[in-house]
A and B are shown apart, each in its own frame.
Chain A
Amino acid sequence: MTGSITSWLRSRISKVGAARTALIVLTFALLESLCRIGVLDRVTIIPPTEMAASLWDILKSGRFNADIAFTLFNVAAAIALATSAGFFAGAALHSVPRLRRVSEPLLSAYYAIPTFVFYPLLIVMFGIGRVALIIMGAMFGVVAMIVNTMLGLDRVPPAVDKVGSILRLDALRQLVLIRLPAASPHLVTGVRLAVAYSVIGIVAGEFILATSGMGKRIAFAYDNFDNKTMYGMLLLLLVGVVIVNSALSVWENRLHRRFGQR
């Protein structure tokens, strides 16, 4: 019995995973001791254990629940908007190669411009509040989805398309039953990037000007030298993003393996 459990554990915990965990733990331990012995001063950074304690305190006291909910809702709305608009725009561009070719320079230089310089203009248009933030986040995420939708549709093997025509599927079924699954690994990549970029857009907007939200709290704590709250909120935000991103990566890899091409 114990033997089977040990072998099961061994099969789950690989050498690579163990080394990775050790590396992360060591990094944090190093940071912790550098903070504790005063090489890094408390005005700059607080020890990771204190960040974690502050995070725990924030969650337990619930004092920022409204801000967290505000940001989560906005991020979810922005992602929904960015991925759906990005998918349809990408599919449309993919079907018109001439348009796609001329829009390529626009799409590939897009992420070099700090899109949130348009945020004040959005505020004038929609007022301070959810709508401006959501549009900001969606504007940041949509291009990643467009690009990856086109990449995914490029990689649909011609043979798979032919199977669809042999089965005499209509255009909609061809898209939903054949091309969508075949393109799915890249679509998930697009969603993963759209998530990352939407968070950037929204948090940046909240930094600049907002009435509530996690970015607003971080900026406020920074302005008041409240490092404990600031690092607690930062840690919460980063941990959340890393978890969502890792989950989507796992899904993405599974799809890549299942549909067999990269």
Chain B
Amino acid sequence: MKSTRFDYLVFAGGLLMLWQLTYYAVGAEIVSSPFATIRRALELVLTNAFWVHAEATMSAFGAASLISIAGGIAIGVWLGLRRFAGDVASPILGSLYSIPKITLYPLILLAFGLGISAKIAFGVIHGIFPVAIFTMNAVRNVAPVYHRTAHIMRLSSVTTAMTIMAPAALPEILAGIRIGIALTLLGTLIGELFASTSGIGFALVRAMGIHAVTDILALTLLIFIFAALLNASLHFIERWVRHGG
């Protein structure tokens, strides 16, 4: 454990050094120094305006995550239990997952207008497909012997779902949720970049507009820290479930 912590410190130090060297190489017009960026990030966190934007982003991200997870699991379970429907839908889901959804921004804007619903829609079209695909595969990959065991024990379908299917499929579904949530965050931020008047993404656009390099990097750093923490906690839950939660 101690050596891991040491490794992380060395790695973080190495990254900071690389960043500083890049700053020396290309200049403050393009990259702000790590020190200036971190100081700016701390300043931003202490302002009220930042939290107003953060709150706007978080409410859209929260709603989009809920829809992505609930919708993705519903679609995934349904398709996973019906072999034929799953076979029919699987490549379609794969294609929908891989299309560059950023190209759909004019469509989303025309359909939802500027505002929170466009941001949520953007988050959902990014996040729902990975959740659906992972859930479908998770349900399909439950070993047939579990089904037979449930049958032999004459469990009701509700009990089967709760005590056999859910625990067997859960780790993989959680992996899908982890990926889905990261993409939902990306989608929500893209929505804010192109189609919004509030939120962290909007603050980024404004910084881009006036070429405030330190602000761009400071906001990106904050988004990255948030995403990494979210990802790490979901990883932690996943591992806990996998190893006998």
Chain A nearest CB: distance from B31 CB in Å?
A: 7
| Chain B CB within 10 Å, residue with most, of A192, A193, A199 | A199
Could you say which residues of chain B place their CB within 8 Å of the CB of A117? 193, 204, 208, 216, 219-220
Looking at chain A, what size class is its interface with the partner chain? Answer: 35 or more
Among the listed B30, B98, B106, which residue makes an inter-chain contact with A196, where contact means beta carbons less than 8 Å apart?
Answer: B98
A-contact 0/1 string along B88-104, CB 8 Å cutoff: 11011011001111111
Q: Which residues of A contact B230 (CB under 8 A)?
A: 109, 112
Q: A109-B224, A218-B106, A234-B103 are in contact. Are A124 and B231 (CB under 8 A)?
A: no
Q: Is the CB of A114 within 8 A of B186?
A: yes
Task: Select which of A103, A106, A112, A120 is within 8 A of B216 by beta carbon.
Answer: A120
| Minimal Cβ-Cβ distance residue in A for B209 | A120
Q: A112-B223, A114-B193, A124-B30 are in contact. Are A242 and B11 (CB under 8 A)?
A: no
Which residues of B in the span 70-88 have a Cβ within 8 Å of any Cβ on A? 84, 87-88
Among A114, A121, A218, A230, chain B packs the most CB atoms within 10 A around the CB of A114
A124 to B208, CA, bound (A): 11
Shortest distance between the CB of B70 and any CB in chain A (Å):
20
Contact B186 A124 (CB under 8 A): no
Is A99 at the interface (CB under 8 A from chain B)? Answer: yes
Q: A242 and B100: CB pair below 8 A?
A: no
The reply to whether A204 and B102 form a contact with Cβ atoms under 8 Å apart is: yes
Of chain B, the residue at the smallest CB distance from A116 is: B193
Q: How many A-B residue pairs have CB under 8 A?
A: 139
Contact of A112 (CB < 8 Å), options: B84, B91, B186: B186
Find chain A residues with CB under 8 A from B183 CB: 111-112
Interface SS of chain B: helix
Residue of A nearest to B208 (CB): A120
Within 8 A of A (CB), among B213-245: 213, 216, 219-220, 223-224, 227-228, 230-232, 235
Task: For A15, list chain B residues within 8 Å (CB).
Answer: 84
B118 contacts the other chain (Cβ, under 8 Å)? no
Q: Which of A18-26, A148-156, A158-166 contacts B (4 or more CB under 8 A)?
A: A18-26
Contact, CB under 8 Å: A124 / B29: yes
With an 8 A cutoff between CB atoms, is B107 at the interface? yes
Residue A43 is within 8 A (CB to CB) of chain B in the complex = yes
- List 5 A-B pairs, Cβ < 8 Å: A102-B7, A108-B231, A114-B190, A114-B204, A121-B31
With A101-B4, A111-B182, A120-B208 given, name 5 new contacts (CB 8 A): A43-B110, A112-B183, A121-B31, A125-B30, A245-B98
